Chain A
Amino acid sequence: MSHQPCAVVGVGQTHHKTRRWDVSLGGLVREAATRALEDAQMDWSDIDAVVLGKAPDLFEGVMKPELYLTDALGAHGKPMFRVHTAGSVGATTGIVAAHHVETGRHKRVLAVAYQKQSEGNAQFALGSGRGGSLGAGGAFAPYMRSYIARSGSPLDIGPMVAVKDRLNALKNPYAHLKLTDISLEKVKESPMMWEPVRYLESCPSSDGACAVVLTDEEGGKAAAAAGRAPAWILGTAVRSEPSTFPGRDPVTPQGAFDCADDLYRQAGITNPREQLDCAELYVPFSWYEPMWLEAHRIAEKGRGWKMVESGETALDGDFPVNMSGGVLSSNPIGASGLLRLAEAALQVRGMAGEHQVDGAKVALGQAYGAAAQYFSMWVVASSLDPFGR
Chain B
Amino acid sequence: MASDDIAIIGWAVSPMERRTAKSEQQMLFEVVTDAVDHAGITRADVDFTVAGSCDYVAGQAFSFVQNIDAVGAWPPKRDSHVEMDGAWALYETWVRLLSGDIDIALATGSGRSSTADPALIYPMEMDPFYLAPLGADAMSFSALQARALLDAGKVTERQMAEIALRSRASATSNPHAQVSGAFDVDAALQTDYVRAPLRKHDLPPITDGAACVVIARADKAREICENPVWIKGFAHYSELHNPGMRDLLTSPSTTLAAKAAGIEEAPVDFAEVQAAFSHEEVILREALGLGQDTPVNRSGGPLAANPVMATGLVRIAETARQIREGQGRRGVAHSTSGPCLQQNLVCVLEGDAR
**A residues neighboring B (CB under 8 Å):** 1-3, 24-25, 56-64, 66-71, 75-86, 92, 96, 99-100, 102-105, 125-126, 128, 237-243, 245, 253-255, 258-259, 370-371, 373-374
Contact = CB atoms under 8 A, between A and B. Distances in A.
B277 interface: no
A3 B121 CA distance: 41
B65 A370 contact: yes
A56 B75 contact: no
21 contacts: A1-B99, A57-B55, A61-B128, A63-B56, A63-B122, A63-B125, A67-B126, A67-B241, A70-B238, A70-B343, A76-B238, A77-B239, A80-B343, A86-B62, A96-B80, A99-B99, A239-B76, A240-B68, A241-B68, A242-B73, A258-B75
B128 A239 contact: no
A68 B100 contact: no
A71 B240 contact: yes
Nearest to A99: B95
Contacts of B101: 1, 3
Given A76-B239, A99-B99, 6 more contacts: A2-B98, A70-B239, A79-B238, A82-B82, A243-B65, A254-B76
A96 B99 CA distance: 12
For the complex of A and B, 7 pairs with smallest distance between CB atoms: A255-B76, A1-B100, A240-B79, A103-B98, A71-B240, A56-B61, A63-B124
B83 interface: yes
A239 B62 contact: no
A241 B73 contact: yes
Interface in B79-97: 79-84, 88, 91-92, 95-96
A83 B343 CA distance: 15
Interface of B: 4, 54-56, 59-62, 64-66, 68-69, 73-84, 88, 91-92, 95-96, 98-101, 121-122, 124-129, 132, 235-241, 252-253, 256, 337-339, 342-343
B83 A84 contact: yes
A179 B343 CA distance: 44
A292 to B, nearest CB: 16
A83 B82 contact: yes
Given A2-B99, A67-B337, A241-B73, A77 B124 contact: no
Nearest to A84: B83
B61 A242 contact: no
B82 A84 contact: yes
Given A99-B99, A240-B68, A241-B74, A58 B126 contact: no
Contact of B92 (A57, A96, A255): A96
A86 B65 contact: yes
B199 to A, nearest CB: 27
A78 B99 contact: no
A232 to B, nearest CB: 16
Contacts of B342: 67, 70
A126 B61 contact: yes
Contact of B80 (A3, A238, A254): A238
Contact of B73 (A25, A68, A82, A240): A240
The A interface is mostly helix, strand or loop, or mixed, namely loop
B66 A243 contact: yes
Contacts of A58: 55-56, 61
A14 B237 CA distance: 27
B80 A239 contact: no
Contacts of A105: 95, 98
A86 B76 CA distance: 16
B54 A240 contact: no
Contacts of B239: 70, 76-77
A251 to B, nearest CB: 15
B80 A242 contact: no
B253 A84 contact: no
Contact of A240 (B59, B77, B92, B121): B77
The residue among A64, A92, A105, A258 with the most chain B CB atoms within 10 A of its own CB is: A64
Contacts of A63: 54-56, 121-122, 124-125
Contacts of B99: 1-3, 99, 102-103
Given A56-B61, A70-B241, A81-B88, A99 B73 contact: no
B206 to A, nearest CB: 17
Contacts of B132: 62
Contact of B338 (A64, A79, A100): A64
Nearest to B84: A82
A175 B253 CA distance: 38
A350 to B, nearest CB: 29
Contacts of B75: 241, 254, 258
A242 B68 contact: yes
